[in-house]
Amino acid sequence: MKKRHLKHYSFIAVIILFLFAASLLFSADVEKPSKTTALTNVRIIDVVNERAIEKGVILIKGNIITAVGKVSEIGIPEDSKVISLNGKTVMPGLIDIHYHATLYHLGSVYKTMDEPDALVALRARKNLRTTLEAGVTTVRDTGGVRGITNSLKQALSMKLFSGPRYYHSGRFITNTGGHGWKIAEQVDGKEQIIQAIRNRFAERDHKCDFIKITWNLPQGFSNEEIKTAIETVHKYGKKIAIHAFQPETIHACVEYGADTIEHGWGIDPKTIPLAVKNKTIIVPTMYVVAKPLFNFDKDFIYEGEDFEKYIEGKKQWWKMILKHLKPYVAAGGKIALGTDCGCPPMLYSNAPDELIIYRELGLTPFQIIQAGTINGAEAIGIEDKAGTLEKGKWADIIVLNGNPLEDLMALKKVKMVILAGEIVVDKSLFH
């Protein structure tokens, strides 16, 4: 009996020693310094100082940028992995802050309500990968189906598939019968609004990152309900995005301190100075309107919808956008890239197209690039980590064929995508 016990204890001791040794080896592997990667012979777009650094170099160690500047001014460590990009342009990865990974973009967005979660999630996985390949390294999902966005965030954090950094609001919030009610959580009154917000920020794995509310008049929330929502979200130290395109709703959102206004097409001239003062960010989602007018496939029309009527409606929206947003931009109003991907006729590769259409508002190429990078980072609250190519920032970088400062179409010519210091898209063989 004693021998049997001794053998049993000896076996346990061997297992413990093995696990201890394995843990030491694993720790040694994890703690081993990563080699520096040097992107050389590149044009670097400095979105902060609005300049281009020619014959530049970017040093990356792990997931962080360690140096940015001219090749002649920065020493490259001897053991670095050097990637010469032959005069290509590098800039921060794009940040899309109005995005719907789980919606169905080839017809009615409500189709997903009748599909099983697994099918919706698998399609969303494909959508996110397509978006990454278009040069988007961060998305802010402004409304998903059921609880699937939580699962997507968890899967991405576990690296079960490759996609952009992912921030989400869960299901967006609306009033009973309000905009998007079929896929939203419908609430009425201040108490229900507060409860819905609290539930999204409850302590659990992969809780929501921000709040999204839709507000259309005349059937929508009251001003007091919206004010309560904004105040509640800010008490949590979080940000709130509000869908609003009417003058009255936009003014109230600006006055009460909404962080971003989604669409914002009907901003009133009297609201513009206050929006500029409050540093409100409008996410114009313009290409969803412009695409049918300039580059459209009739297959995207909802079944049974009258094409001429559809186009006439888009023309009216387009006139509104230019009438109200051009003065907003001219006054110094800030906008940020948002595609509304998930809503037809948008494709999950359309982020560069959304940026390019901002030239219709009178933005310079640098301002357009800022809208697609640092402004989006600010809207999410990660401007200290993303949105620019600077020492200490995340190494989220895209490499372009061509110079977008001279030709914005270069934004569509993505050669390479680097996310957290890792090359996740490389189209070198196809250029």
Report in angstroms the alpha-carbon separations of 17 from 10, 12, 14, 340, 376. 11, 9, 5, 55, 50
Q: In the chain, what percentage of residues exceed pLDDT 90?
A: 81
> Is it the case that residue 30 has pLDDT exceeding 60?
no
Domain at 36-91+390-430: CATH code: 2.30.40.10
Stretch (H or E) spanning 52: strand 51-61
Q: pLDDT of 36-53, one tens digit each?
A: 999 999 999 999 999 999
d(CA 140, CA 184): 17
- How many angstroms separate the first and last alpha carbons of the chain? 73
- Residue 130's pLDDT band (cuts 50, 70, 90): very high
Q: Is the pLDDT of residue 232 over 70?
A: yes
Give the full edge-to-edge strand order of the sheet including 165-168: 94-99, 136-141, 165-168
How many other CB atoms are found less than 10 A from the CB of residue 350? 25
Of 52-66, 194-208, 330-344, the least confident: 194-208
pLDDT of residue 276: 98
Q: What is the pLDDT of residue 429?
A: 56
List the one residue out of 319, 335, 309 whose CA is nearest residue 95.
335
SS3 50: coil
DSSP letters spanning 301-352? SPTT--HHHHHHHHHHHHHHHHHHHHHHHHTT-EE-----BTSTT--TT-HH
Domain at 94-380: CATH code: 3.20.20.140
Residue the block writes with tokens 């313009």: 286
Q: How far apart are CA 411 and CA 291, in angstroms?
A: 17
- 86 in Cβ contact with 42 (< 8 Å): no
For residue 96, pLDDT over 80 is answered with: yes
The mean of the pLDDT values for the chain is 90
Report the pLDDT value the prediction gives residue 34, as an integer from 0 to 100: 76
C-alpha 427/C-alpha 321 separation (Å) is 36
Quick one: pLDDT band at residue 298, thresholds 50, 70, 90?
Answer: low
Question: Which two three-digit tokens encode residue 351?
Answer: 């982020």
What is the residue type of 153? K
Query: What is the pLDDT at residue 194?
Result: 98
326-356 pLDDT, tens digit per residue, is 999 999 999 999 999 999 889 999 999 999 9
Strand partners, 416: 399, 426
Return the H-helix or E-strand segment holding 203: none
Could you give the percent of the chain with pLDDT greater than 70?
88
Collect all residues with Cβ–Cβ distance below 8 Å to 158 and sequence separation of at least 6: none
Q: How would you classify the pairing of strands 36-46 and 81-84? A: parallel
**Closest by Cα among 43, 144, 162 to 98:** 144
Phi, psi of 312 (to 5 degrees): -65, -40
Domain boundaries, given as residue ranges, for the chain: 36-91+390-430, 94-380
Instruction: Provide the pLDDT for residue 32.
Output: 44
Distance (Å, whole) CA 302 – CA 425: 33
Query: Which of 17-21, 134-138, 292-296, 406-410 is predicted least confidently?
Result: 17-21
Q: How are beta strands 51-61 and 64-70 bridged, if at all?
A: antiparallel
Relative orientation angle of helices 307-330 and 287-294, to the nearest 10 degrees: 130
pLDDT of residue 297: 59
